[in-house]
Amino acid sequence: MTTTNTVMPYDEALERFEPVIGLETHVELGTTSKMFCGCPTTFGAPPNTHVCPVCLALPGALPVANDKAIESTIRIGLALNCTIAEWCRFARKNYFYPDMPKNYQISQYDEPLCTNGYLDVEVDGRTVRVEIERVHLEEDTGKSTHVGGATGRIQGADYSIVDYNRAGIPLVEIVTKPVEGTDRLAPEVAKAYVTELREVMRTLGVSDVRMEEGSLRCDVNVSLMPRGSTVWGTRTETKNVNSLRSVERAVHGEIERQAAILADGGRIVQETRHFHEDTGATTPGRSKEEAQDYRYFPEPDLLPIAPTPEWVEELRSELPELPTVRRRRLQAEWGVSDLDMTAMHNADAVALVEATVLAGVPAADARKWWMGELARRANESGTSLAVLPITPEQIARVVQLVASGALNDKLARQVLEGVLAGEGSPDEVVEARGLRIVSDEGELSSIIDKVLSANADAADKVRSGKIAAVGALVGGVMKASRGKADAGRARELILEKLGVSE
Amino acid sequence: MSAITRDEVAHLARLSRLALTDAELGHYAAQLDVIIGAVARVAEVATDDIPPSSHALPLTNVYRPDEARMSLTPEQALAAAPAVENDRFRVPRILGEEA
């Protein structure tokens, strides 16, 4: 097996070829119980504690569909502008693999619950419409661990051990139509699509969409065709793409890999490839040239799903405000530019800024701190804004302290540093670190006297009318007060003491 | 009515991970042919005004409320497993020769 690939640099690959991408996303629904039985769905439970005769496929056990899962799937379909089927069935997808104890997965085949929708995503200042082919409901598989062999991979393992806690958790599969014309933005479009989809799921409250826990998983299809061609090339499907950044990297890497093969006169093998989070490279998995034969047929143990138009309309009318609409509204309310809004969106800061504004401070201040000091700190520690140990309410408090004159920006940054370091609330940090602006005239006056006597030359210059020299004296006061003096007031007092007026 | 071929039986056996001998391939091809033939007789009585159906009863939308209930204990779940390791079902090597 080869693990190194010859690649063509991205720019060159894009000069010669046009990519067509497609995404298949699986979302585990956040229901209380599994799709076809009452086992709980909590993540991280000890192995085989959330299993029963239905999800273990013990003889005679029969599935019954979870009403919440059906409802959630319809809501997802509606949010993605899909048509909801008036009548459809589950289907058996037959395959022999130990992660499914029945030897088939209950899925949907030619009658998905939702079809023909779209999701608009914004990339590089333009809106790209990603068309949705279908949204269907199925059950998740168990989790296998491969034992023996060098790397814990399935290849070369001696045997495998299986935990069926995840088997039967409701899983929604969302498949896009092939996306053409994205050109060199293909990797960004793929990432923006998954990001937007995740936000829609969050807004609907149907899933916790944690990529790192596998409740949102993404398979990325990529093919290349020579510039000017209208015939799509052979595609590969990259699985195991477990972060938003990886979605982008996987498309980028696959374009570079395929371009090198095609330019060399080779052909692309239609196959499943595995993405490696550490290196960003992909390696081949099972080849799809030996066509899979799933022998789908209607699931006889489950009755057809026939949502009434009234129910669908009721669900449609109850949909929450969707992310793009919400962002447009907030942008108008905050009066920020497209560029600033996109920057906030990309930094996952919109909800944080919104919460900070709701805590009672102007949008401009909320945005300034989240996108400035806090974004810098998140960047430094390689995390995201949302996981910084500071709340929108705490940011709002800091903004209020600055607005009241109790802090200046420099001190405010120290307060944030203290809060992030776990020293308590902003007020506690101000207290413990003694960060309040020196507004006590007596204390400020005595600091100024010391600075003036230590800088007699500068003081003389100011006395003789060179007011510009006051800057050095104010600087001295700020230094002596360790940043806690009110610079404006200090300047006034210095000029007063030196008998100069502007 | 087309006859079930030995190749078709071999294909199904492979999908089901069953090792069938040459003699068995012929044996099952003949048997499956009889079974399919018997089922196919339904088509003879179904006239054009009878739509194809997958379910015998005219029922739809039979669901259960999303409520969790007690599962089996790991001991119960694993009681009949041929092999167990770390409270998990131990299964033979999945991909061997393809490594």
Please report the residues numbered 11 through 70 in chain A whose beta carbons come closer than 8 angstroms to any beta carbon of chain B.
Answer: 31-33, 38-41, 46-53, 56, 64-70
Please report the residues numbered 174 through 233 in chain A whose beta carbons come closer than 8 angstroms to any beta carbon of chain B.
Answer: none
Return the pLDDT at A286.
63
Rounded Cα distance, A452 and B7, in Å? 102
What are the average pLDDT values for consecutive 10-residue runs of chain A, which has 502 residues?
A: 70 96 97 98 95 96 97 98 97 91 95 97 89 98 87 78 97 97 95 94 94 91 95 92 91 95 92 86 68 87 97 97 93 92 88 94 94 92 88 94 87 92 92 78 84 88 86 88 82 85 72
Would you say A429 and A395 are in contact if contact means Cβ atoms under 8 Å apart?
Answer: no
Q: Do A53 and B90 touch (CB under 8 A)?
A: no
How many CB pairs below 8 Å do chains A and B form together? Answer: 134
Return the pLDDT at A86.
97
Chain B CB within 8 Å of residue A281 CB? no
B97 — pLDDT class (breaks 50, 70, 90): very low
Q: Do A65 and B88 touch (CB under 8 A)?
A: no
Q: What is this structure's pTM?
A: 0.81
Which value does ipTM take for this structure? 0.87
φ, ψ at A25 (rounded to 5°): -115, 135
Return the pLDDT at A356.
96
φ, ψ at B56 (rounded to 5°): -75, -30
Full strand arrangement of the beta sheet holding A114-123: A83-84, A114-123, A126-139, A170-176, A17-28, A216-226, A236-241, A271-275, A282-287
End-to-end CA distance of chain A: 80
Return the pLDDT at A4.
52
Return the pLDDT at A1.
41
Return the pLDDT at A152.
66
List pLDDT tens digits, range A137-171. Answer: 999 999 999 888 766 677 778 899 999 999 999 99
Would you say B65 and A36 are in contact if contact means Cβ atoms under 8 Å apart?
Answer: no
Does domain B6-43 correspond to CATH entry 1.10.20?
yes
Rounded Cα distance, A195 and A219, in Å? 14
Q: Which residues contact A5 (CB under 8 A, 6 or more apart)?
A: A257, A260, A281, A282
Would you say A152 and A214 are in contact if contact means Cβ atoms under 8 Å apart?
Answer: no
Which of B92, B79, B78 minimizes the C-alpha distance to B17?
B92
Return the pLDDT at A5.
64
Sign of torsion over alpha carbons B20, B23, B25, B30: negative
Collapsed DSSP state (helix, strand, coil) of residue B26: helix
Please report the residues numbered 34 through 63 in chain B whose beta carbons come closer than 8 angstroms to any beta carbon of chain A.
Answer: 54-55, 57, 59-63
Q: Which of A41, A56, A295 sits opposite B77 (nearest CB)?
A: A56
Would you say A234 and A240 are in contact if contact means Cβ atoms under 8 Å apart?
Answer: no
Q: Do A38 and B64 touch (CB under 8 A)?
A: yes
Collapsed DSSP state (helix, strand, coil) of residue A258: helix
Q: Do B71 and A159 touch (CB under 8 A)?
A: no
Search chain A and give the residue with CA nearest B18. A96
List pLDDT tens digits, range B29-86. Answer: 999 999 999 988 888 888 788 887 888 888 999 999 999 998 899 999 999 999 999 9
Rounded Cα distance, A266 and A357, in Å? 56
